């Protein structure tokens, strides 16, 4: 598919030199494992639990006439975002029929780092969008995904919005569109492992006999859960996937987390498969929801598990109760790469 240059972008024209971009985050995974694509080739794949915020905000100012790799980043140390800016500059220059150049990238936002919420991908997607906006362009999500994976080595499907997708994170492509939306859920968020960041590159993936069949079965279950808007089935899938991942992450709090979910009427648990963020899932249509949420928070406090925020994965007229992010998560670090 050929991408036509966009003649006028919001807030400017093709000759503009500054641009802005935003990207959301996610709350870890509903499902992650190994899956076959349409050609029966085995791929790493995941389905994330989307969130509207927090997220990353980027502003990019092009310097026409400068070398294409002369990109400065504030805060310093955001090497993946810088690489994404360089790649996006070259992509957009080709689309505009001009020479690539460098520029200045400024990133902001309140997204916690290293907890498995897609902080680096959020930075990268916001950066690519800001660079494109500085050229008066809007790149399609397939192009943003390709650039993000080249910059990071692997990424999350944040560029596609909140639709539930089985996404090949190391290849930047969609394996399956599961539907228009995940089943509705209320999530009591928490952070395991003392809220410490996880070095995702140091994780060793373990695959045992029967895992491929298990992941194929969970994929079919999740497909059915989305089609039927079945939150209970969603919880079964996320809990099973989280349990499989414990061979790698070994969260000491996981048995307590699962026990709390069972005792308060939740449908299951979900975790970041490469981090410490986690959640207990409730069906918003279930009777006694408010009481279940209160019991859940009290039980988490008794176990010494850090609570973060209670939120929904669907449009809600008001934010559910819970402390703000800044009081419970580590602040974003300038050393994010």
Which domains can be identified in the chain, with CATH numbers?
Answer: 18-176 (3.30.230.10), 181-327 (3.30.70.890)
Quick: pLDDT tens for 126-154: 999 999 999 999 999 999 999 999 999 99
pTM for the structure as a whole: 0.87
Instruction: Please state the rounded mean pLDDT for residues 276-284.
Output: 96
Q: What is the pLDDT of residue 205?
A: 61
Give the pLDDT band of residue 112 (cuts 50, 70, 90). confident
User: Are 158 and 26 in contact, with CB atoms under 8 Å apart?
Assistant: yes
Quick: pLDDT tens for 244-270: 999 888 889 999 999 999 999 999 999
Strand residue runs (E) in the chain? 18-36, 42-63, 71-74, 102-109, 165-168, 173-177, 186-191, 268-271, 277-282, 306-312
- Residue 250: CB atoms within 10 A of its CB come to 9
Instruction: Please state the rounded mean pLDDT for residues 192-203.
Output: 58
Q: What is the pLDDT of residue 210?
A: 86
Instruction: Please state the rounded mean pLDDT for residues 96-115.
Output: 90
- Residue 219: CB atoms within 10 A of its CB come to 21
List C-alpha distances in Å: 107 to 7, 101, 137, 150, 179: 26, 19, 20, 19, 32
- Residue 182: CB atoms within 10 A of its CB come to 24
Instruction: Please give the helix or strand (H or E) that residue 298 lies within, else none.
Output: helix 289-303
Q: What is the pLDDT of residue 8?
A: 37
Residues 6+ apart with CB under 8 A from 196: 114, 276, 330
What does the block give as tokens for 329? 């998560």
Q: What is the pLDDT of residue 1?
A: 39
Quick: pLDDT tens for 35-91: 999 999 999 999 999 987 789 999 999 999 999 889 999 999 899 999 999 999 999
Q: What is the pLDDT of residue 200?
A: 53
């Amino acid at each position: 598919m050929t991408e036509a240059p966009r003649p006028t972008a919001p807030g400017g024209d093709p000759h503009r030199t500054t641009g802005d971009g935003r990207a959301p985050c996610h709350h870890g995974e509903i499902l992650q494992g190994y899956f076959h694509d349409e050609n029966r080739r085995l791929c790493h794949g995941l389905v994330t639990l989307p969130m509207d915020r927090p997220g990353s905000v980027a502003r990019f100012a092009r310097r026409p006439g400068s070398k294409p790799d002369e990109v400065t980043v504030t805060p310093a140390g955001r090497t993946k975002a810088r690489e994404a800016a360089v790649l996006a500059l070259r992509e957009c220059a080709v689309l505009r029929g001009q020479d690539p150049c460098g520029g200045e990238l400024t990133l902001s936002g309140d997204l916690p780092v290293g907890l498995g919420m897609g902080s680096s991908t959020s930075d990268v997607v916001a950066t690519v969008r800001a660079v494109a906006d500085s050229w008066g362009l809007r790149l399609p999500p397939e192009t943003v995904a390709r650039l993000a994976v080249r910059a990071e080595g692997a990424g999350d499907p944040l560029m596609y919005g909140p639709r539930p997708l089985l996404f090949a994170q190391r290849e930047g492509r969609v394996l399956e569109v599961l539907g228009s939306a995940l089943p509705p859920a209320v999530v009591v968020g928490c952070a395991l492992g003392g809220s410490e960041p996880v070095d995702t590159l140091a994780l060793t993936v373990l695959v045992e006999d029967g895992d491929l069949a298990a992941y194929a079965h969970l994929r079919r279950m999740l497909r059915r859960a989305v089609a039927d808007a079945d939150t209970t089935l969603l919880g079964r899938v996320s809990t099973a996937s989280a349990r499989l991942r414990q061979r790698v992450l070994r969260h000491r709090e996981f048995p307590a987390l699962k026990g709390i979910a069972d005792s308060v009427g939740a449908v299951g648990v979900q975790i970041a498969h490469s981090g410490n963020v986690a959640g207990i899932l409730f069906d918003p249509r279930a009777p006694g929801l408010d009481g279940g949420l209160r019991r859940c928070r009290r039980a988490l406090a008794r176990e010494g598990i850090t609570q973060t925020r209670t939120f929904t994965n669907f449009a809600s007229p008001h934010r559910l109760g819970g402390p703000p992010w800044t009081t419970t998560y580590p602040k974003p670090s300038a050393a994010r790469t």
